[in-house]
Amino acid sequence: MEYNLADLFESVVDAVPDREALVFLDHPGTGAGRRLTYAELDAAANRVAHHLADSGVRPGEHLGLHLYNGVEYLQTVLACLKARIVPVNVNYRYVEEELEYLYRDADLVALVFDAEFEDRVAGVLPRTPRLRHLLRVGEGTGGVPGAVPFARAEASGWPGRGFPARSGDDLFIIYTGGTTGMPKGVMWRQEDLFFAGLGGGAPTGEPVRAPEELAERVAAGGAGITFFPTPPLMHGTSTLTAFIGFDFGQRVVLHRRFAPEEVLRTVQRERVTSMSLVGDAMLRPLLDALAGPLKGTDCSSLFSVSSSGAILSETVRRQFRELLPNTLLLNNFGSSESGFNGTATEDAGPGRGFRIRVNSRTRVVDPVTREPVAAGATGRVAQCGHVPLGYYNDPVTTAETFFERDGQRWVLLGDMATVGADGVVTVLGRGSQCINTGGEKVYPEEVEQALKAHPDVYDALVAGVPDAHWGNHVAAVVQLRAGAPRPSLADIQRHCRTRLAGYKVPRRLVITDTIRRSPSGKADYRWAREVATAVERP
C-alpha cells in the first residue's frame, strides 16, 4: 500500500469499523442530524464511487464539489479518491462568470451541486461543454436538465469496494484565491498532501513510517477525540482537518453553515475536543457569544482551537485567554500551496510582528536567486520536500512559483518575511498587497492588527489607494462594534501612532456596516480597495 488517501482511509475503516466517524448536525439547536460509523461512511462513499464509474467518469478526470457542508461533501470526496477521480473544490459564493472560469479551467466533467445553486449552475452549463454528469443534492426545480438526484445515485451504487489499485501519485486539486484575481488549482500528489497537509498521520507527533502503521496506531488507540472544522469544506483547510480526524480514527462533526451560537452549543453537546476556524472573522463572534448570550456554555472538553488562513489579532487572542484559559490556541501559518508551515509565537503582534516558529522544511529565500537570505534580510517564504506539482492549466505561474534546488522541489509563497538569528520567521504580509507610499512599504496585515486593537473596532481591512503626491496612501475600511461611537480619522490616527511608524498610519477612513470576507473568513482586498477609492479623501 502506498500513501494514498483512499487506501489509508480504508485501512482505518477496517481497524475500527463500528466507531463513529461523522456527525452532521443539520439542526444544531436540537442535535438532530446524521451519524455514520466508519463502516457506514465507507459504504456510502463506495456507492457514490461506483455510480460515478458506472456513469462513465474515468480515473484522472475531474469532479467539482459545489456544495455547502454536509455528509455528501465528504462522502463525495472519499468516493472520488476511491475511484481515482480528482476532487475539485468550488467556492459557492461565486457568480456565473467566476463559476464558468473555474469549471472550464479545472476541466470538470462531473459536478455535485447543492440544489440552492441550481440557477447558477443552469446559467453556466451552456458554456461548459465538457461538463457531462451532474448530481444534485437536495430538492431542485428541474432547472438543470439531466441532473441526477444524489440520493438516487447513492442508492444505485454497490456498497462494496472492488476498486482498481491506487497510487500515491493520484491527484488532489485545491482551488485557491479569487479575491484579487481568478482562482488557481493547486495540484497535490496525495502522498505529498498526506505529509504536508495532514501531518503524516500525526500532526502533533512522529509521522507514520509506513502506510500500514496508520491503522496500527488507530487500532491501538481509543476513541474520545472530536474534530470540529467550522469553516466551509470548500476551504481546503477545513477538508484537511476532517481528514486529519479520519486519520486518527476519531469523530468529525459538521454544521451546514457557520453560526457562532450554534457552534458553542455543539461544543458542549458533542464534547468537542479540537476546533478549527479562520482568523478573527470567525473567532471573534464566537468569543462575543461566549461572553454574552452563551455565557456559561461548558467548553471544558475543548483542548485546542486552531486558526489558519488569516492572522489572529492580539486583541482577539487576549479575549480568548480570558474566556478559555485552559484551551490551547494555535495561530497557525500555512497555505494551499504549502500545507502547514508553522505556528505563531506568543509574543506575535503589532509590537514585534507576526512571528512564526517554522518547521524544518520552511525557509526565507531571495525571490530572484532563490537562495536563503541572511538574518534580518527580507525575502519570501518558501517550503521544500512535500510540495505540490504546480498550478493546473497554468504553466507560466507554475514556473514562477515552483522550482528545484539541491535535488528537492520547492514552492515560493507570496508572503514576504525576515528571519531572525534565533530562526524565528517574521511574516510581513503578502507581497501582492504591499502598499508603496512615498517609497516606503506598508503591509496591510500589520496595520489591520493595530486597527483591531482599538476598543471600538470590530473588524478592518487596509488597502492602498492612489495619491498624487505619494503614489499611494494607506486607507482603512473599518467595521465598528455594535453600539460603538463613530470615531473620526484623527481618533484612529492617534490610536495607530502608538503602534505604527508614521508612514503606516491610515490617511483615509471608511466606516462600513460589514467587512466583506470569503465564507471562510479570508480578506477580500479587491473589495476593500474599491470601497476606499470610492470615498473622497478628507
Has domain 5-257 been given CATH number 3.40.50.980? yes
Residue range(s) occupied by CATH 3.30.300.30 in the chain:
434-534
**For domain 346-430, which CATH number applies: 3.90.1010.10, 2.30.38.10, 2.40.160.20, 3.40.50.620?**
2.30.38.10
What does DSSP assign to residue 349? B
Task: Taking residues 162-191, report their average pLDDT.
Answer: 89
Q: Which residues contact 46 (CB under 8 A, 6 or more apart)?
A: 79, 82, 157, 158, 159, 160, 161
Q: Which three cell numbers stand for residue 42?
A: 465507507
Q: Return all residues near 27 (Cβ < 8 A) that are at least 6 apart.
A: 33
The single-letter DSSP state of residue 243 is: H
Rounded distance, CA 269 to CA 267, Å?
6
- Indicate whether 178 pLDDT > 60: no
Q: To which residue does cell 502533533 refer?
A: 204
Radius of gyration of the chain (CA): 23
Q: Is 250 helix (H, G, I), strand (E, B) or coil?
A: coil
**Overall average pLDDT of the 2-7 stretch:** 96
Cell of residue 292, nine digits = 454574552
Q: Which amino acid is at 66?
A: H
pLDDT tens profile 129-175: 999 999 999 998 888 999 999 999 999 999 999 999 999 999 999 99
Q: How far apart are CA 313 and CA 318, in angstroms?
A: 9
CA dihedral for 26, 28, 32, 38, sign (positive or negative): positive
Per DSSP, the three-state class of 214 is helix
The residue written with cell numbers 467539482 in the block is: 64
- Rounded distance, CA 525 to CA 404, Å? 31
pLDDT of residue 350: 63
Confidence (pLDDT) at 524: 87
Cβ neighbours for 140, distance < 8 A, ≥ 6 positions apart: 115, 118, 147, 149
Residue 76 confidence (pLDDT) above 70: yes
Q: How is residue 311 annotated by DSSP?
A: P
Label residue 499 by pLDDT band (50, 70, 90). Answer: confident
Strand order in the sheet with 390-391: 148-149, 133-137, 108-114, 62-66, 86-89, 171-176, 184-189, 390-391
**What is the model's pLDDT at position 537?**
61
221 pLDDT more than 70: yes
CB-CB contact of 39 with 17 (8 Å):
yes
Cell numbers for 515, please give them: 467587512
pLDDT higher than 70, residue 79: yes
Q: Residue 372 has what pLDDT?
A: 94
Domain with CATH 3.40.50.980 in the chain: 5-257
Confidence band for 513, pLDDT divided at 50, 70 and 90? very high
Grid coordinates given for 168: 500515491
Can you tell me the distance from the alpha carbon of 504 to that of 497, in angstroms, rounded to the nearest whole number? 9
Residue 353 has pLDDT above 80, yes or no: no
pLDDT in the model for residue 229: 97
Label residue 432 exposed, middle or buried (CB < 10 Å: 0-12, 13-18, 19+).
exposed
State which amino acid sits at residue 158. W
Confidence tier at 538 by pLDDT (50, 70, 90): low
Q: Choose between 472 and 328: higher pLDDT.
A: 328
**What are the backbone dihedrals phi and psi of residue 193, each rounded to the nearest 5 degrees, phi first?**
-65, -35
Residues facing residue 357 across a β-bridge: 343
Close Cβ partners of 476 (under 8 Å, ≥ 6 residues apart): 447, 451, 460, 461, 462, 492, 506, 508, 509, 510, 532
Domain with CATH 2.30.38.10 in the chain: 346-430
Q: Which residues contact 163 (CB under 8 A, 6 or more apart)?
A: 6, 49, 82, 83, 84
- What letter would DSSP give residue 177? -
Which tens digits make up the pLDDT trace of 249-275?
999 999 999 999 999 999 999 999 999
Question: Looking at per-residue confidence, does 154 or 439 come out higher?
Answer: 154
What superfamily does domain 434-534 belong to in CATH?
Answer: ANL, C-terminal domain (3.30.300.30)
Q: What is the dihedral of CA 374, 375, 377, 381, to 10 degrees?
A: 90
Long-range contacts of 143-151 (CB under 8 A, 24+ apart): 143/118, 143/119, 144/113, 144/118, 147/113, 147/118, 148/55, 150/72, 150/112
Average confidence (pLDDT) over 481-492: 95
**Above pLDDT 90, what percent of the chain?**
78
Torsion sign over Cα 124, 110, 136, 90: negative
Distance of CA 84 to the CA centre of its chain: 23
Write the CB contacts of 248 (distance below 8 Å, at least 6 apart in sequence).
Answer: 218, 221, 225, 227
Looking at residue 309, the DSSP 8-state letter turns out to be S
pLDDT digits (tens, 9 = 90+) for 194-218: 999 999 998 778 899 999 999 999 9
Give percent of the chain above pLDDT 70. 97
CA–CA gap between residue 84 and residue 525 (Å, rounded): 36
What kind and span of H or E run contains 326?
A: none
The average pLDDT across 442-453 equals: 90
- Least confident window among 346-350, 488-492, 513-517: 346-350
141-to-110, 114, 222 alpha-carbon distances in Å: 20, 12, 45
pLDDT at residue 67, rounded to an integer: 97
Taking the C-alpha atoms of residue 336 and residue 199, their distance in angstroms, rounded to an integer, is: 14
pLDDT of residue 203: 78
pLDDT above 80 for 520? no
Which residues are CB-contacts of 435 (< 8 A; sequence separation ≥ 6)? 441, 442, 443, 444, 462, 463, 464, 472, 473, 474
pLDDT for 179:
44
Residue type, 264: L
3-class DSSP assignment, residue 462: strand
pLDDT recorded at residue 114? 97
